[in-house]
Amino acid sequence: MTPFAEAAAAKLSRGGRLDPDEALALYEHNDLLLLAALARAAKERQSGRDVYFNVNRHINLTNICAARCPLCAFGRGRDDAGAYVMDREEVVAVARRAADESPDLSEIHMVSALHPDKPFAYYLDIVAAVRATLPGIHIKAFTPVEICHFAAVSGLPIDEVLRALKAAGLGSLPGGGAEVLDDAIRGVICPRKASSAQWTEVVKAAHRLGIPTNASLLYGHIETPRQRIEHLCKLRAIQDETGGFQAFVAFPFHPDNTGLPQLARVGAWEDLKMVAIARLVLDNFAHIKAFWMMLTLPVAQLALAFGADDLDGTVAEEKIIHAAGAKTGTSIAREDIVAIIREAGYVAVERDTFYNSRRVWGTSDNG
């Protein structure tokens, strides 16, 4: 180990906070087992032996998108094959069926493309309709990038867009669209999406209004390890200011069918380093997700030994990641998530969106 990396590890052991250079030294030292030990200790200080998941249902309202980012395989033009838009009745039917099929459903998760013509009222109407149909189910919907789009098409300030959605029934925002908070990188991978400053403006506004969000990072494309670390430090600074982030999730870039097909999907080694370094840098985040759908189930399970404490949810149909070549299933049974967590030696905790425990699954099949 280099003296600098050794000093960084010692600083962590004393409860200190890594600066960007120290985090990068640990990352580039490439000692995966050291990172695992440090990150696992940090995780267990936050959440002990608990590992979380929820029973949720994803709904992607449309894939017709004005941005058409090079990094994305999901977006379509209006007249392209496979283009679709769900109307309110379709969304309500999907949500109702999900609740019927999964009596323990606790969350509807809606994200979409940036439709060039749909007014803000379309989204408000859908949130209100789902809320009226499933009054006890949490609605997590619309990335900060989508919130910026709603502000642009409606002419409303960000705060008013968020207030209107909250009044309609929205409870929290996912953290997607952050990609890498570096505008030089964004200019290549998503030039027509919200800027770093706009993404940050939305999450801070949401937190001020009592709407919690997640935070994310898309890694493994054209960014450098230093830019990943700097991204994490920006999230940490926002969390210091607002305390509104619930969890962080790192998404590996999947290149199939995107505008960046020359890139290769990073390997499991890089995935696990990313989870661990996120846990170590984000010392003010309670929860680090290993989203099984992005990582694959085996890597997500391994990530539990690298600082992750959440596998996300049962999902039940996802389209965006799979358009880019993800080979994972589009859903998972609750019992299978529980088995994965137990096999790793952790306690499976079924949670709601706010990490309140709904059920602790014991060592027997009956919980």
Q: 158-168 vs 144-154: helix axis angle to the nearest 10?
A: 110
| Pairwise CA distance, residues 299 & 289, whole Å | 12
Q: What is the dihedral of CA 173, 244, 274, 3, to 10 degrees?
A: 170
Yes or no: say if 216 and 203 are a contact pair by the CB < 8 Å rule.
Answer: no
Give the integer Cα–Cα distance in Å for 130 and 111.
14
Provide the 10 A C-beta neighbour count for residue 107: 21
d(CA 8, CA 22): 5
- Sign of torsion, CA 188 192 197 201? negative
List the structure tokens of 198.
Answer: 């706009």
Structure tokens at 207: 């937190």
Residues making up the binding site for [4Fe-4S] cluster: 65, 69, 72
Beta strands in 61-181 (DSSP E): 107-111, 138-141
Give the chain's end-to-end CA distance (angstroms, integer): 44
CA-CA-CA-CA torsion sign (253, 258, 263, 267): positive
Residues within the annotated binding site? Answer: 65, 69, 72
Separation of alpha carbons 192 and 214, rounded Å:
22
DSSP state of 316: S
Tell me which residue of 287, 245, 255, 250 sits closest to 272, measured CA to CA.
250
Q: Report how far residue 312's alpha carbon sits from residue 51's, in angstroms, rounded to the nearest whole number.
A: 10
